[in-house]
Structure 1
Amino acid sequence: MSLRGGDPAEIGGYPLEERLGSGGMGTVFLARTSSGRPVAIKLIHQQFAGDDEFRIRFRQEVAAARRVSGAFTAAVVDAAPEADQPWMATTYIEGPTLAQRITDEGPLNGAELRRLAIGLAEALRDIHRVGVVHRDLKPSNVVLSAEGPRVIDFGISRAVDQQTLTMTGRVIGTPPFMSPEQLQAPRGVGPRSDVFSLGTLLVYAATGHGPFDADSPYITAYQVVHEEPSLGSVPDALRAVVEPCLDKEPEGRPSADELLVLLRDLPADLGGTATGGPGAGRTRDMLTQHHLMTPETPPPTAPAPPAPATPAAPPAPVAPDAGSTGTAIGGRLRRRWRPVLAAAVAVAAIGGGVAALTTSGADGNGDGTDGRGTDAGRSAAAPGGTLPDGFGPWRTTVPGGREDIPDELRCVARDDALFCGGGGVIAARVNPADGSRLWTAKSPGVPAQGMHMVGATDDTVIGYRIADQDAPQGPPTEVVALDADSGEELWSTPSGAQSTAVTGRTRDAVVAGSAVVTVDASNSRFEARDAHSGEVAWTAPFPAGTQCAPVPEGPRLLAMCATDAEVDALDRRSPTLRTLALDSGELGRPIEVEGPVVPVGDADGSLVLLSPSYEGTARAGYDGVARVDPAAGKVTYSRFDKVYDGTPGMAGGTVHLSGRTGLVTAFDPATGRKKWERQTGVEGASGPASGDGAVYFSSASGRVVALSPNDGKTLWSTDPQADGLTGEENASPRVTVAGRALFVAAAKNTLFAFDARKPPRSN
């Protein structure tokens, strides 16, 4: 890809020609030596240049790469680890990564698969012989050159005799390819950990998916540590070699030298795929595809069962004619959104392997509503500038139905209560003053990434229940209403799971006033119920040939719809928006939008949407903003000055994008003009949440930063509170604001609270 605005023209005297990729820790460029020899230069992001921990890690990477430079790796040509902005140059290896090869052409087989396996075992043998453990062997770190596979990126490697560098709040590695000991006790990781990773990588190469793929990195990590691998599609001969590599105990695995002997005995064509034995027929909810920088979108889940018939909705009234003004954005190839119950892809960021988690547009609610609907959460636990009675800083964990697979929560503050849900918790009531729990309703199934709370009214809390996969057949997902005082279940209804396919956001139910609007289990209609009694007020069938999802817009509710053909083709090029009457369910006339677009919030009576931009089939960020005026039936479009990547959100009438590396950019939704840009130390932040004169962003590790809404100036920031995956994109805001009190959700169902005017001191 070509150089972008702001990229340097040269690094260390090497003229740059193009970008090769960018990730959480740095950017890699193609450059030339004075003799014309191509080199790859990794430039560490400026914000990490002053971080001693990152400098130590980068020095270790340079040292490790120099030790292992050989036939199976990229030799170090030059490096400046002490420069103001550290960099390292290595020989440029021409060829696709293994991830790119499988994405473009599918899994490997026969002699090609055998050559890959032997070449990687040879590479590990040479790496281990010089006393280095790679610790991040994955498809995007394997380049398929004409001379054979090469292993690159020693960003989290270490010498066997070194102490492992660990950093609070960051999980180091890529969960689908990490060993059990790397997840449990990273300081004890040795060469046999790389052998485990090689086993997972060979399964990926042979089948297109890893042996432990799951809905989220937390579930993947659990399966790596506790469950048997899925090897049913691996060729029999290769599986006999891979199985011992995936032993849970390091001493049960072969060494790289022993593995090389086993692989050399494989038949030239490796035979066919297995049809039985351990793991045969085992299915996963998603296939994980790994790319150098950008995660691919996951495939659909199984269809939900049909819901019982209900009376038809009244005829839709005639609304003003739809129209548009301005120039449509997004005429290029658009990314295909897939209908999923939960979507999470764990990929490693270049230059350090810090795991980045993306949800491909799921886990939405990036409009700042946090899934609470049009008015949920308006009655805060404390008015502006005050704190709840008896408030003091606190930290707690809310156990869910699957305590072995924790996830994240999201919270709603109302009156004297804090309601939180997600991560195996339908909902829990927490005392905002001290963090004590009054009641908890658990969800028995495996937590789904991005499915948190629906919302709350004055007397009712609404959440999602995910069925236990081992339970008798029943609805896979339900919307559940709980009494706000006692936590008693009031009613439940099966829920559809197609909102991601339509809007790019996970929102299959919303709270609207005192009602709850859901998508039925057959994904064919909206249903509105009284939030407390569950009595059905109305049903509204989707327009013929479409699938729809509810989208809050100020005091209104809109229906965003895509045709069945677009959903089936995973390509929402022309979504439509219609008003959805809250008293009757009547749908207005369609307003066509040039898509795909992602709703992020409302401003001045208009729904604000962002337009994704793509490089090939990979999403590169967002290139513009669209505004829909439902009353006038008009759409206006504005382009950004360039493509910006990050998690979208809206607060105070301003659109924000928070990037994986902590860069936050603010835009005027009316013009698309950039208001300000600020580099923060909060990687993979979600947000924004606003209140008490600041906008807040927070990561899964619990880092929080407060920025001035006017110019983005950093007001304060905190240290991590949990060990969470950094680099996550498209997560809904983790910070809930109630007056001066901030309630923050982090990884592993962690919640903590503090006074926004007295934040925890950062070290």
Structure 2
Amino acid sequence: MEPLQRGDPERVGPYRLLGRLGAGGMGVVYLGRSRAGRAVAVKVVRRSFAGDARYAERFRREVAAARRVTGTFTAPVLDADPDAVPPWLVIAYLPGLSLREAVLAFGPLPAASVRPLAAGVAEALAAIHRAGVVHRDLKPGNVMLTAGGPRVIDFGVARPEDAVTITRTGAHIGTPGFMAPEQLRGDRAGPAADVFAMGATLAYAATGTEPFGAGAPRSRDLRAMTARADLDAITEPWLREVVGACLRAEPADRPSAVEVLEMVGEDIPSLFAAGWFPAPIADEIERRAADTSAVTEVPVEQLHAATAPPDATRPGGRRAFLLGAGAVAGALAVGGAGLRAWPSGGPRTPGFPGPSPAPEPSERWTRRVADALPKIKAADGVVLASGAIDDGGERSTVGAIDSRTGSILWDRYGGLSGLLHGGVAYLSLGGALGAVRARTGQDLWHYETPSGESPALEMAIVGSVLCYGSDPVAGLDLADRRRGWKSEIVGEVVLLAADGLLIALSTEAMIGMDPRTGRSRWTRPIDDGNDPVGADGLVFSWDRFGTLHAVRTDSGALAWKREHLTGFSMQAGGGRVYAEGRDGEVLALETRTGRPVWSRTVARLQDDPAAQATACCLSGATLYVACANENLYALDVADGRVQWSYRAGATARIAPVSADGLVFVGMEDGRVRALAPPP
């Protein structure tokens, strides 16, 4: 629990607020106390939604529907005032931990625990559906494990239509990896969609991994829509049958919640005792229940003092802080808002870095180069930054910065992108290509591309040929600046130079091309490949399902592939390829075989589609990882240990760049920042 912040109310209706449990897109959730001393969760809607008449009406309608749900294994709505400004509702407070918290901390549940869990969740869904309500966002974070059995929370309460935005056309309510195909298509989501989500939730409980993998929301969606669930780790026949039936692509083919109860069977332990939990989870539930009782019995004035920031100079200050902070740690997640921290001494996810090691990097300089996030490259004392500037009419710009001082060396308005090679900056200038001395900005040459061609954003230098464009791709001889060839490739193209070849990734295939003639040497089908890197005679690329392909540059043969990763960013070198395995997890694989070497979880990003990914940069013995939790991590490539971390701010998961002993990060507000790693 966190203390109340400035501007938070001390009372909502008849409920006294004791502290913050969390905040989500719809509102803030507080721990409250009724006049009779009962602990409750008070959810207050953000004022930005409260002023929307259509939203207010929907909130009123769906609160009424949620009040009709009276199932044993749900969290009932106790009170609400949809006409208040802002609106609020009160839900029974459930001391315990979410299923996701339990799995992250203690590992997958044994089969003997999954069966009663399945019965409790199915019974809760049956009650919700009988009341005419569809949950629409069932997931491990919305299943609470309590002393009174599993409880399904956050059902049917109004939330804005764009509460969860997926990286595809349209917006849907739900969480990637747990949404049914009909939800992803934008069709009506009925009770069968909840059953689909229940199947994915049970698979997660039994294996510790989501059946449609992790990472980029688009990849999860495509796996779900094409029924590419990975159930190999489920060994219990009854559970595999239940999960498989729930995850059928067509809603009509799935069982109802009542039918799932029948499939689970009647030979299950009582859900109203903690005996069916593994011992560590039962102990944690008991501890949290005791802490909840303690905090609600403490006078409010003392509780505020206990949760205030500790005074390091006052004897006992840290102890007082820990007692207050640990009182309600991690107890409830409502409406997407939940406490993520364990109390001091509690369990941690293996590999989670915890507090930042000292010392931290020092900031050398910060330079604003654009109005939005810039893309950066660096070499030979120059940082090349490209971005957009709104000076009455938005324009693009490419500029060079002195890496040591941060001073602007030169810029070119109208530039779209560029690359550094041999002390020269090669620029894409809309309908032209240009070469500029990287340090001085001296123009070396200018080439107008023929009609129908455009350098666009893609360029690669292979030998003495500058390859550029996207549908078509062309080659320009750097010796005489004459175009040597043009090749029509369908769809948007990504270019990479690797082992003397031009690697072109289209929406359909990876193509190895002769850079002098443009002729294809080989073709490897890959569905919407992206983010290629080359090393050790191989080219690595994601497909749209998040499968990592390792392709031999000499023949185009597939060396190996690894499924169910994120499909976002990677780096390769020194016999390893570094990619994101799950949300916030960096995975090191052998380049030749794809076998794992180590993994390191740098952040917990679950259930947040807007913040799922890391972007990395390999520099010598260090892998720099920009994470969506706004931190930059420096990992030792030998074993993934965190050497240092830095609060970089919103970098939108753009990979950092390292050169000249410094690390450069692009900021969301258009700035470039230079960091000097600690010695």
How high is the TM-score relative to the length of structure 2? Answer: 0.51
Cα distance between partner residues in 2 of 1:150 and 1:43: 21
- What residue number does 2:643 align with? 572
Change in CA separation of 1:208 and 1:562 when aligned onto 2, cut-off 3 Å:
closer
Equivalent in the alignment of 1:370: 375
* Structure 2 counterpart SS, 1:30: strand
Q: Is the contact made by 2:374 and 2:670 (CA closer than 8 Å) also made in structure 1?
A: no
Cα–Cα, structure 1 residues 93 and 267, in superposed 2: closer, same or farther, change >3 Å?
closer
1:649 maps to which of 655, 668, 672 = 668
Higher relative contact order (CA 8 A, sep 6+): 1
- Kept in 2, the 8 Å contact 1:467–1:475? The answer is no
For residue 636 of structure 2, what is the aligned residue in structure 1?
Answer: 563
Instruction: Tell me which residue corresponds to 1:415.
Output: 429
| Matching residue's letter, 1:87 | W
Are 2:19 and 2:32, in contact at CA under 8 Å, matched by a contact in 1?
Answer: yes
- Letter aligned with residue 649 of structure 1: E
Residues in 2 aligned to 1:99 and 1:10: alpha-carbon distance in whole angstroms:
31
| Aligned counterpart, 1:80 | 81
- Alignment match, 2:116: 115
Please give the alpha-carbon distance, in whole angstroms, between the structure 2 residues aligned to 1:654 and 1:227: 44
Q: Deviations over 1:718-757 (max 9, x none)?
A: xxxxxxxxxxxxxxxxxxxxxxxxxxxxxxxxxxxxxxxx
Does structure 1 conserve the Cα–Cα contact (< 8 Å) formed by 2:134 and 2:190? yes
Structure 2 CA distance for partners of 1:467 and 1:221, relative to 1, 3 Å: closer
Pick closer, same or farther for the CA change 1:165–1:550 going to 2, 3 Å. Answer: closer
**Structure 2 matches for 1:198-213, cutoff 5 A?**
198-213=198-213
Question: 1:680-734 CA distances to partner (integer Å, 9 max, x unpaired)?
Answer: xxxxxxxxxxxxxxxxxxxxxxxxxxxxxxxxxxxxxxxxxxxxxxxxxxxxxxx
Equivalent runs, 1:225-236 vs 2, <5 Å = 225-234=225-234, 235-236=236-237
Is this contact kept in 1: 2:21–2:337, CA < 8 A? no
SS in 1 for 2:35: coil
Q: Does the Cα contact within 8 Å between 1:25 and 1:44 map onto a contact in 2?
A: yes
Whole-Å separation in 2 of the counterparts to 1:5 and 1:299 = 32
Q: Distance in 1 between matches of 2:141 and 2:585?
A: 27
By how many angstroms is 1:440 displaced? 3.4
CA distance in 1, matches of 2:12, 2:541: 53
In structure 1, runs of 5+ residues without a counterpart are 271-289, 301-330, 336-364, 390-410, 431-436, 455-462, 479-492, 509-520, 523-540, 552-558, 574-594, 602-608, 611-627, 635-646, 656-668, 670-763
Q: 1:474 is aligned with what amino acid?
A: R
Output one character per residue of 1:644-680: Cα deviation in whole Å (capped at 9) or x when no partner. Answer: xxx963436899xxxxxxxxxxxxx9xxxxxxxxxxx
Which letter maps to 1:208? G
Q: Which aligned pairs between 1:532-571 and structure 2 lie closer than 5 A?
A: 546-549=621-624, 562-564=635-637, 567-569=639-641, 571=642
Query: Are residues 415 and 630 of structure 1, via their aligned partners in 2, closer, same or farther at CA, if it must alter by over 3 Å?
Result: closer
Measure, in 1, the Cα distance between the counterparts of 2:634 and 2:158: 47
Q: Distance in 2 between matches of 1:440 and 1:212?
A: 27
Amino acid in structure 1 at the alignment position of 2:456? F
Q: Is the 8 A contact 1:237 1:266 kept in 2?
A: no
Letter in 1 for 2:373: G
Matching residue's letter, 1:419:
A
- Structure 1 residue 251: Cα displacement: 1.4
Q: Mapping of 1:381-396 within 5 angstroms?
A: 385=392
Once the two structures are superposed, the pairs formed by residues 141-180 of structure 1 within 5 Å of their partners are: 141-155=142-156, 170-180=171-181
What do residues 382-401 of structure 1 show as CA deviations (whole Å, max 9, x unaligned)? 99555789xxxxxxxxxxxx
What secondary structure sits across from 1:183 in the alignment?
A: helix
Residue in structure 2 matching 1:333, options 355, 364, 378: 355
CA distance in 2 between counterparts of 1:383 and 1:2 reads 40
What is the aligned partner in structure 2 of residue 39 from structure 1? 40
Q: What is the Cα deviation at residue 200 of structure 1?
A: 0.9
Decide whether aligned partners of structure 1 residues 251 and 542 sit closer, same or farther in structure 2, where only a CA change above 3 A counts.
closer
Change (3 A) 1:448 1:155: farther
Contact 2:119–2:261 (CA under 8 A) maintained in structure 1: yes
Call closer, same or farther: CA 1:55–1:453 in 2, change over 3 Å. Answer: farther
Aligned equivalent of 2:221: 221
In structure 2, runs of 5+ residues without a counterpart are 270-274, 277-332, 342-347, 358-369, 397-415, 419-427, 432-454, 460-467, 473-488, 494-504, 510-525, 557-570, 589-593, 596-617, 627-631
Shift of 1:97: 1.0
Contact 2:66 2:157 in 1 (8 A): no
Give the Cα–Cα distance (whole angstroms) in 2 for the partners of residues 230 and 332 of structure 1: 31
Distance in 1, Cα, partners of 2:338 & 2:385: 36
Mapped to 2, the partners of 1:156 and 1:497 lie a distance apart of 44
8 Å CA contact 2:142, 2:152 repeated in 1: yes
Partner deviation per Cα, 1:303-336 (whole Å, 9 max, x = no partner): xxxxxxxxxxxxxxxxxxxxxxxxxxxx97249x
1:243 corresponds in structure 2 to 244
Q: Deviations over 1:224-258 (max 9, x none)?
A: 11133211111222112221111111111111111
Offset at residue 415 of structure 1 (A): 2.4
For residues 62 and 149 of structure 1, the distance between their equivalents in structure 2, rounded to whole angstroms, comes to: 22
More helix by share: 2
How big is the shift at 1:472?
7.3
SS state at 1:96 partner: strand
Aligned to 2:18: 17
Identity among equivalent pairs (%): 33
C-alpha distance 109-19 of structure 1, shift in aligned 2 (>3 A): same
Aligned match of 2:492? 440
What displacement does 1:375 show? 5.3
Tell me the distance in 2 between the aligned counterparts of 1:600 and 1:72.
39
Pair 256,473 (structure 1): closer, same or farther in 2 beyond 3 Å: same
SS where residue 132 of structure 1 aligns?
coil
Q: Distance in 1 between matches of 2:104 and 2:164?
A: 32
Please list the CA deviations of residues 237-295 of structure 1 after superposition, one character each: whole Å capped at 9, or x if unmatched. Answer: 2112221111111111111111111112567799xxxxxxxxxxxxxxxxxxx996589
Q: Which amino acid aligns with 1:333?
A: P
Cα distance change of structure 1 residues 170 and 542 upon mapping to structure 2, 3 Å threshold: closer
**Displacement after TM superposition at 1:127 (Å):** 1.1
Distance change in 2, residues 1:292/1:474 (3 Å): farther
Q: What TM-score, normalized to structure 1? A: 0.46
Q: Give the drift of 1:62.
A: 1.2
Taking a change above 3 Å as real, the CA distance of residues 71 and 82 of structure 1, as seen in their structure-2 partners, is: same
Give secondary structure in 2 for the equivalent of 1:203.
Answer: helix
SS for the counterpart of 2:552 is coil
Name the CA shift for 1:378/1:164 in 2 (closer, same or farther; >3 Å). closer
Q: Residues 155 and 366 (structure 1 numbering): CA distance in 2 closer, same or farther, change over 3 Å?
A: farther
Matched residue SS, 1:572: strand
Q: 8 Å contact 1:212–1:230 — kept in the other structure?
A: yes
Which has the higher Rg, Structure 1 or Structure 2? 2
User: 2:58 & 2:349 partners in 1: Cα distance?
Assistant: 32
| 1:600-657 CA-partner distances (Å, limit 9, x unpaired) | 79xxxxxxx99xxxxxxxxxxxxxxxxx9999x99xxxxxxxxxxxx963436899xx
Given the alignment of the two structures, is residue 193 of structure 1 paired with residue 202 of structure 2, yes or no?
no
